[in-house]
Amino acid sequence: MKFIVNTSALLEKLQQVIGTIASKPILPILDHFLFDIKDGVLTITSTDLETSMSTSLKVEADADVMVAVPSRLTMDTLKALPNQPITFTLDEKSNGIELRSENGRYKLAGQPGNDFPKNPDIDGSATLTLPSGVLLNCISKTIFATGTDDLRLNLTGVYVQLSEEQVNFVATDANRLVKLTRKDVKPGVEQNFILPKKALNLLKSTLSDDDLPVQIDYNNTNASFLFGGVRLICRFIDERYPDYNAVIPAKNPNVMQINRLDFLNSVRRISIFSNKTTHQIRLKISGSELVISAEDIDLANEATERLSCEYDGVDMEIGFNSRLVLDMLNNMDCVNVKLEMSEPSRAGILLPDENEEGEDLLMLVMPMMLNSTSV
């Protein structure tokens, strides 16, 4: 059996789905692409058993066939070849694969396509459609706040809450929390699930920032994302998400408003002088002035900057981890931000001064205990 395809076209498709393949797969066949040809259409699938991706392109084929092709060897070969037609010849008895280009031939050892893991059927699924740019925005503004501790698996993904009139995307690592609400998305159902970080990173790198529709089919265990000829299927994290609303302070009478970029750049500079273990910075707010400072007592390093701000509240001195604050400010698009606080021992709430249309964004950062001295 033979099929002919352009090297650049095939390489582009393989690069779309290579991200699902684990660096150390638990089964040898998981280090392969599944090539499934039907009626002149090649469908390429990769999986790690938790997340799978597939895409397709037209080829010149003389029969239908299914074979597992070694991923790294195939991609390395295509990368080294110039843009030209290449012929794949398959020995269906041995699953041996021969590639013929204008300059030579290359032999690979494949595996039976029937041994490749099947994608889960999303039976009795519900459907939700989002513009690609909206989903990309929701992922980008929340995924950075997910946890990395496998002992708290429920915090390593993004919690999605569907309701009749809106959808919430929530992420936390117990030190910070991000809640993004889209009021312009109306799922019409009540459903909650936790999307794993790996699948979200793959979506983030593949989705386009436009109005291309993304069809999301889901049931109690899996979700499928279909867009632009690419399908991603992932298994939910089967854990209970914490009651995140319980940690969001209800009353925050002390409100500071400041230019986001000025605040961001100042925190970035001051953090250079902070302790390399705690990364602590100190915010001292009084009247219309914000003083940002940091010190590393062990190395005798310290820094202080003063910024103008608008502040309504009692004089406040509060400590934060500079890395968390920088992550939050970097993942906002607004001109000015608001920092709402109740007291130095309770979480600070970071809000954009103006939300994008249809969106409500809330970011929370836990404070750090300050010592009695100040820079």
Please name each of the domains of the chain with its CATH number: 2-115 (3.10.150.10), 126-245 (3.10.150.10), 248-365 (3.10.150.10)
> What was the pLDDT predicted at 124?
66
Pairing of strands 213-218, 230-235: unpaired
Q: Is the pTM of this model over 0.75?
A: yes
Helix, strand, coil percentages for the chain (3-state, nearest 5)? 20, 45, 35
Q: Are 325 and 267 in contact (CB under 8 A)?
A: yes
**pLDDT reported for residue 356:** 84
- Residue pair 259/335 in contact (Cβ under 8 Å)? The answer is yes
Which two three-digit tokens encode residue 245? 């609303």
DSSP code, position 330: H
pLDDT (tens, 9 = 90+) of the chain, 375 residues, equals 899 999 999 999 999 999 999 989 999 999 999 999 999 999 999 999 999 999 999 999 989 999 999 999 999 999 999 999 999 999 988 999 999 998 899 999 999 999 999 998 887 679 999 999 999 999 999 999 999 999 999 999 999 999 999 999 999 999 999 999 999 999 999 999 999 999 999 999 999 999 999 999 999 999 999 999 999 999 999 999 999 999 999 899 999 999 999 999 999 999 999 999 999 999 999 999 999 999 998 888 999 999 999 999 999 999 999 999 999 999 999 999 999 999 999 999 999 998 888 899 999 999 999 876 544
User: What whole-number distance in Å separates Cα of residue 218 and Cα of residue 347?
Assistant: 34
Task: Burial-class residue 33 by CB neighbours within 10 Å (0-12, 13-18, 19+).
Answer: buried
Q: Are 303 and 375 in contact (CB under 8 A)?
A: yes
Long-range contacts of 298-303 (CB under 8 A, 24+ apart): 301/273, 302/273, 302/375, 303/269, 303/270, 303/272, 303/273, 303/375
φ, ψ at 343 (rounded to 5°): -155, 165
Q: Residues 104, 112: contact at Cβ < 8 Å?
A: no
Task: Give the Cα separation of 347 and 341 in Å (integer).
Answer: 7
Residue 146 in contact with residue 173, Cβ under 8 Å? Answer: yes
How many other CB atoms sit within 10 Å of the CB of residue 79?
11
Q: What angle do CA 369, 371, 375 make, to 5 degrees?
A: 120
Torsion of CA 137, 139, 144, 149, to 10 degrees: 170
> What is the CA 304 to chain-centroid distance, rounded?
34
* pLDDT tens track for 245-258: 999 998 999 999 99
